[in-house]
Structure 1
Amino acid sequence: MRIASALTTLLLSLSASLLCAEPTAPTDWPEFRGPQAQGHSAATGLPLYWGPSQHVVWKAPLPGIGWSSPVVIGDRIFVTSAVPVGGVETATADRSLRALALDAATGKTVWDVELFKATSPRAHRKNSHASPTAVFENGKVYVHFGHLGTACLEAATGKTVWATQEFAYSPVHGNGSSPVIVDDLLIFTADAESDPKVIALDKATGKQRWAFARQSTAKNKFSFCTPLLIEIAGQKQLITPGSGVVNALNPKDGTEIWRFYYGDGYSVVPRPLFAHGIIYIATGYNKPSVLAIKADASNKGDVTETHLAWSIDKAAPHNPSMAVVGDEIYFVADNGILTCADAKTGTVHYSERCTGPISASILAADGKLYLQDEKGLGVVLKPGKTYQVLASNDLKERALASYAVIGSDLLIRTEGNLYRVKK
C-alpha cells in the first residue's frame, strides 16, 4: 500500500511538473476561440456524429452555471463556474465563483478552487456569472469574472498566485468578455454602464499598468467583446470593439493607433477576425452589421470615412463569433441563419437557416464548420460557396458555450455537463 501510495504521489508530482513547464502546443486550446484566437483548429479526425450516449468518451457534471468555454493544455481542461451558495439555484442566489481543472482522459475533477464570493449578482437570462473564458500561459491559468474579479492560479495545483476585485464597475447584464495575454500584460475590456475602459494588468502581480478610456456617441455604453491581437507592418495592435466604436490600441501602453465609429451599436459580443488584410467585426444591438475594415500601416486616427471595405446588414450576429476559411467568411445570426460571403468583397454566396437560436461561436476544423445552438443541436457543414449540411447531432441540453478541441475530439459544454466526444 505504501509503495502504491508513493507511486501515485510521484506520478501526480511528475504530471504537475510537466504542466508547469508546458509551453502552449499547436494542439492545445489555450484561450477563447483557440490557439489563433479566431475559431480555427489544425486537428484532424474530428467527430461528425454524436449524441447523448453516442461517441461520448465521457460526460462530466459541472457544478453551478457557467458559459465560459473550456481551455485545454496537455492532459488538463480548465473551466470556470458560478455555484449558488447553499446549493439552491435561483436568479438572486449568492455565488461562489470558482475555477476547476479536469483530467482530460476521464473528466474527473483534479482541483476546484473558490476565487470570490458575489452577493446576489445579476445577469441576463442568456448570460452567467462565469461567462469569460480563461487563458493559459507558462503554467498559469488566468480567470476573469468581469466586474466580479480577476485571478491568476498555478495550473498544476490551483494555488492562487494573485486575485483582485479592485477593478469593479457597474455592469449591465453581467460579465462576458474574456481576457487576453500580450507579453507581460493581462488585458480585458470593462465596457460598463458608464465610463467604458480597456484595462491592462501586470500578469505577474495583478496590478494595473494602463487603462484606456473609450469614447463614443453610443447611447448604451456596455459591451462584452474579447480583444484580438494582430500585427501590421511589425507593430502589434490590440483590436478592441466596444459600443459605437472599435479602437486599435498599442498593447504596450494603451495608446490609441486608430478608431472606426459605427453609430449606436452596443452590447457588442463577437470577437473580431483578421484575414486578407481586413478586420471583421459585428456592431452589436439593436440592428447588427458585419463590417470589413481595411487594416494596413496607413491606419491612423479616425478611419471611419476611409477604410471600410464592405458591410453586410442582413442576418448579422449579435452573439456568435464568425470564422474565415479561405476566401469566405461565415457568420450566423442569433436566429440560426448562416451566411457565407466573399471575405474580400462581401458578396453573399448563401444565407440559409441552419440551427435554432444560437449564441456559441463557429468552429472551423478538419475541413468542416461546427455550430452549436442553444438547445444543444450541433450542426456540421462543409465549407464552400454552396450550403451543405453533413450532420445534425442533438445533445438535448441547453448550450451557450463555444466548442473547444482536444486532440481529435470535441469538448461541448452544456448547462450541466461537459462532454468529450470522439469520431
Structure 2
Amino acid sequence: VYRIIFALVYWAAVSSVLQADETTPRDPSEAANDSSLAATIWNEFRGPGGAGIVSTTNVPEELTVDSATWSVATPPGKSSPILWRNGIVLTSSDGKRLSTHVYERNTGDAIWVRHGPDVPLESVHESSSPASSTPCADDQHLYVYFGSYGLICYDWHGEVVWRHPIKTPRTLYGMSTSPIIANDKLILVVDSDEDLPESNLSQSRLLAFDKQTGAVAWETPRPLQRSSWSTPTLIHHAGQSILAVLGQGRLTAYDLQSGAELWFVNGFSRETIARPLVDDDRVFASAAMLGGVADDQPDTAPYWHAILKFDANGDQELSRDEMTGPFTFPLRPDLPIDHPGFGIPMPSDPERKSARLDQMFRSIDKDENGRWSMDEFVSALSFNRGKPLLIAVQPGGTGDVSESHVSWSLHRGIPEVPTPVLIDDRIYMVADGGLLTCVNAGSGEIIYRQRLGTTGHYRASPVATATSLYVVSEAGVLSVIQLGDKFKLISQSELGDRVDATPALDRNTIYIRTEGHLHAFRSRVSSP
C-alpha cells in the first residue's frame, strides 16, 4: 500500500483554473477518503508501463456528457491526464505560456496551477499543441516536459524542485514524446531533424536524468534518427532493465543503466508515434505507412472519392479550375477536406500554392486533356512509403535482429497515432475510419476486423478494463467494446467535443479530456 504523499496542497483561490496561482494550504486527506480512487495509479502516458489497462470491472460502460460525475473547463492542450493519489494532472498552452494543472480527483476542483518559464513557443502543426507531452509522477515528484523549454520537476506542493532546459528539437509537427520514470531515472527521447554541426547526422538522442536532481545520468546519440513522437517503454529481460524506443524506421533497445544500444529491428516507416507494448516475453511495436495508411494494399476508392468532393460540375473528373479552396492531394481521405491532416500541406502564399497545384495537376494529367480521370489518379497513387507494420519481437541478441528475433509481423489495420492495447493475449488497435482490428498476440493472426461506424481520425489511444475496451475518435465519439474473440459493441456515445488525449482510468472512473473540458464518468460500485 502506498503511503499518502500529499502532506500539504492548496485550495484554488478563484474558480478559474488559469487564476489558481494564489492558494491557501489544505490537507488533501480530507478529500482522499475514497479508497478506490487513492489506490489506483495512472502515473504516465497510458498508465503504468504504458499498458493502458486497469484490472477492474466497475468503470461505466454506458455514458453521456450529461451523466458525467463532474466536468470542468480546461485550457488548450493535447497532453493526456495522469492520476496520482487524489490528483489529476494536465498541461496546457494558451499560445503565450506553458502551464501545469493539478485537479482534485473526487470533484474536479483546481488544486494548483504553475506556469513554466517565459520562452518562445515551438512551431507546431495546426492539429498539435506546445503542450502535447504527457507528464509522469511518483511519490515525491511530478515531472513535466515541454518541447519549447525542457523538463520541470515539481513537488506535490507545486514548488519547483529542479529545471533542465533542453534545446527545442526541429520536428515535422512539434514534440509529443513523453517522459517516463525507470527506477531511479527519468527517461526522455529527444529526436530531431536538425543535423550535427558540419554533418549529415542528426542531433537526436536518448537522455537519462537523475530524477531527484535533474542531472544527466547518461546521453546516447541517435544519429540516424529523425523526428519521431513515440514514448519509450521499460522492459525486463534476463535480469536486465531495457528501454524499448520506437523511432524513424526502427525499434531500438538500450540498456537502462548505461544507455548502450543492445539490438534493433528495422522495417518501420518514417513517422513513428505509438508506444511499444510488452508482456512477459515479447515486445510489440507498430507504425502506419507514412501518411497514415493502415494496410499495405489499401483500397484506392476513398482517395478518388475525396478528389470528387471538388468536382464542381459533377462530370466525375477533375479539372485544374476545380482545384479550389482547401484542395490538396489526399493522404487521409476519411477526414473532412478542411482538416489539417487531410492531405499534403500546401504553401500559404497564394502564388506559391497556385504553382504547386499547377505542377501537381500536370504530373497526373498524362493525356494532357485538361482533366484528371479516375484511372490517371489511381495510377499516380504511391504506397511505397514504408509498409504499415505491427511486429512481435523476442528480446535479446545484439545488433540487427530483424531476421532472427521477430516472431511475426502484420501489415493490415495498423494505426497511425493510437497505441494498441494488449490484454488477454489479444491486441486491439483502431485505425482512421474507425477500423477496429483484434489480433492474436501469439501468432499475429487477425481474429476480426470491424468498422465501428465512426469515420474520421483517431488520435487518442484505446484503454481497457478487465472486460471492456474504450475507443474514442477525434470527433468525440466514444465506443465501448466487449473484450473477446467476437466483436460486440456495448455502447456508443457523443461527447460533443474534439478528443486528442488518451483517457485515464481508475477502479471505477474514466477521465476524458476533450478540447475544452475534463470529464469524469464514475460508477459508485466498488471493486472487490
Q: TM-score, normalised by structure 2?
A: 0.71
Q: CA deviation at 1:183?
A: 2.0
Q: Give 2:485's aligned residue.
A: 385
1:262 and 2:267 are equivalent in the alignment: yes
Decide which moves more: 381-390 or 205-214. 205-214
Alignment equivalent of 1:237, drawn from 237, 242, 252: 242
Alignment equivalent of 1:293, drawn from 392, 413, 429: 392
> Max radius of gyration: which structure?
2
CA contact (8 A) 1:43 1:407 kept: yes
Q: CA deviation at 1:108?
A: 1.4
Q: 1:376 to 1:288 in 2, by over 3 A?
A: farther
Aligned length: 394
Q: Which amino acid aligns with 1:270?
A: A
Q: Give 1:50's aligned residue.
A: 63
Q: CA deviation at 1:99?
A: 0.5
| 3-state secondary structure, aligned to 2:43 | coil
Q: CA deviation at 1:120?
A: 4.9
Q: CA deviation at 1:383?
A: 1.2
CA contact (8 A) 1:116 1:149 kept: no
1:133 and 2:134 are equivalent in the alignment: yes
| 3-state secondary structure, aligned to 2:69 | strand
Alignment equivalent of 1:27, drawn from 13, 19, 40: 40
Q: Using the alignment, how far apart are the partners of 2:473 and 2:439 within structure 1?
A: 21
CA contact (8 A) 2:70 2:520 kept: yes
CA contact (8 A) 2:120 2:148 kept: no
Deviations 1:182-222 (A, max 9, x none): 12211111111132211112212222222222244x7xx21
Q: Give 2:112's aligned residue.
A: 111
Q: Give 1:71's aligned residue.
A: 82
CA contact (8 A) 1:270 1:282 kept: yes
| 3-state secondary structure, aligned to 1:36 | helix
Q: 1:60 to 1:17 in 2, by over 3 A?
A: closer
Q: Give 1:210's aligned residue.
A: 218
Alignment gaps of 5+ in structure 1: 1-7, 85-94
Deviations 1:388-407 (A, max 9, x none): 11000111100010010134
Q: Using the alignment, how far apart are the partners of 1:253 and 1:212 within structure 2?
A: 9
Q: Which amino acid aligns with 1:409?
A: T
Q: 1:162 to 1:47 in 2, by over 3 A?
A: same
Decide which moves more: 331-340 or 112-121. 112-121
Q: Give 1:169's aligned residue.
A: 169
1:313 and 2:383 are equivalent in the alignment: no
Q: Which amino acid aligns with 1:280?
A: F
Q: Give 1:159's aligned residue.
A: 159
CA contact (8 A) 1:71 1:79 kept: yes
CA contact (8 A) 1:319 1:359 kept: yes
Q: Using the alignment, how far apart are the partners of 1:254 and 1:52 within structure 2?
A: 45
Identity %: 29
Q: CA deviation at 1:116?
A: 2.6
Deviations 1:288-335 (A, max 9, x none): 533323324x42221012112111112201100001121211111133
Q: Using the alignment, how far apart are the partners of 1:230 and 1:254 within structure 2?
A: 14
Alignment equivalent of 1:365, drawn from 465, 486, 490: 465
Q: Give 2:17's aligned residue.
A: none
Q: Which amino acid aligns with 2:467?
A: G
Q: Using the alignment, how far apart are the partners of 1:18 and 1:230 within structure 2?
A: 35
Q: CA deviation at 1:134?
A: 0.7
Q: CA deviation at 1:344?
A: 1.0
Q: Using the alignment, how far apart are the partners of 2:92 and 2:126 within structure 1?
A: 16
Q: 1:120 to 1:325 in 2, by over 3 A?
A: closer
Q: CA deviation at 1:68?
A: 0.9
Q: 1:402 to 1:288 in 2, by over 3 A?
A: farther
Q: CA deviation at 1:25?
A: 7.0
Q: Using the alignment, how far apart are the partners of 1:59 and 1:17 within structure 2?
A: 21
Decide which moves more: 178-187 or 411-420. 178-187
Q: TM-score, normalised by structure 1?
A: 0.88
Q: Give 1:59's aligned residue.
A: 71
Q: Give 1:92's aligned residue.
A: none
Q: Using the alignment, how far apart are the partners of 2:257 and 2:102 within structure 1?
A: 31
Deviations 1:24-51 (A, max 9, x none): 9761111111123211112331111111
Q: Give 2:20's aligned residue.
A: none
Q: Give 2:207's aligned residue.
A: 199
Q: 1:327 to 1:377 in 2, by over 3 A?
A: same
Q: Give 1:3's aligned residue.
A: none
Q: Using the alignment, how far apart are the partners of 1:17 and 1:288 within structure 2?
A: 53
Q: Which amino acid aligns with 2:174?
A: G
Q: 1:335 to 1:212 in 2, by over 3 A?
A: farther
Q: Using the alignment, how far apart are the partners of 1:322 and 1:227 within structure 2?
A: 14
Q: CA deviation at 1:119?
A: 2.4
Q: Give 1:81's aligned residue.
A: 92
Alignment gaps of 5+ in structure 2: 1-10, 13-23, 195-201, 291-385, 524-528
CA contact (8 A) 1:273 1:279 kept: yes
Q: CA deviation at 1:73?
A: 1.3
Q: 1:187 to 1:385 in 2, by over 3 A?
A: same
Q: Using the alignment, how far apart are the partners of 2:245 and 2:484 within structure 1?
A: 29
1:398 and 2:490 are equivalent in the alignment: no
Decide which moves more: 393-402 or 157-166. 157-166
Q: CA deviation at 1:126?
A: 2.4
Q: 1:292 to 1:261 in 2, by over 3 A?
A: same
Q: 1:421 to 1:115 in 2, by over 3 A?
A: same
Q: Give 2:125's aligned residue.
A: 124
Q: 1:228 to 1:44 in 2, by over 3 A?
A: same
Q: Using the alignment, how far apart are the partners of 1:83 and 1:288 within structure 2?
A: 37
Q: 1:60 to 1:113 in 2, by over 3 A?
A: same
Q: Using the alignment, how far apart are the partners of 1:147 and 1:353 within structure 2?
A: 38
Q: CA deviation at 1:127?
A: 1.6
Decide which moves more: 357-366 or 206-215. 206-215
CA contact (8 A) 2:286 2:391 kept: no
Q: CA deviation at 1:377?
A: 0.6
Q: CA deviation at 1:385?
A: 1.6
Decide which moves more: 193-202 or 366-375. 193-202
Q: Which amino acid aligns with 1:115?
A: G
